[in-house]
Every structure is written in C-alpha cells, then in structure tokens.
Amino acid sequence: MKLTHAEPSESPWFWHVAAIVIREDGHFVVDDVIYLKDRPQDVDMRLSEYLSQGCDGPRWVGFSDKRNDMKEQR
C-alpha cells in the first residue's frame, strides 16, 4: 500500500507500507503496519515499535539521552 501526505506548495511525501491484518470477533482488523524500505539504507520498521519508543511496557519513561548514556559508561 502507498500512503501519501501533501501540503500546499510542498512536494508530497509518500511511504510504502504493509498492513498486518488479523481476525477479531469475526472481522478483519489492522494489527500493525510495517513501513517498508524505499531505499537500501532504510530499515523496515513496525508502527507499533515506533509508537512504543520511550515506553517501558505501559509506562512512559522518556527518550534516553545518548550523550549522557555515553558519559555514564566511561
């Protein structure tokens, strides 16, 4: 599937995705979405992974500051 977003006076953005569909209560529902690689350097990523960044299970813990993490390891 191809998703597109366009703003006036800007070039449109687009993403290629694959929807993961499951059956729930006799109906099909989207369980997750995978953003597919458009270029060799890109990485396939699930929407659920993206939305859970900064979380520890159901709790928000914030994003780690990579610079401070590196200082603490020294």
Tokens of 43: 């990485």
What residue segments make up the domains of the chain, in order of their start?
2-73
Q: At which residue do the structure tokens 């499951």 appear?
A: 22
The structure's pTM equals: 0.59
Tokens of 60: 């928000």
Q: Which of 33, 54, 53, 35 has the alpha carbon at shortest distance from 45?
A: 35
DSSP letter at 71 equals H
Q: What is the pLDDT along the chain (74 residues), one digit of tens a residue?
A: 898 999 999 999 988 899 999 999 999 999 999 988 877 766 678 888 887 888 888 888 887 765 454 445 44
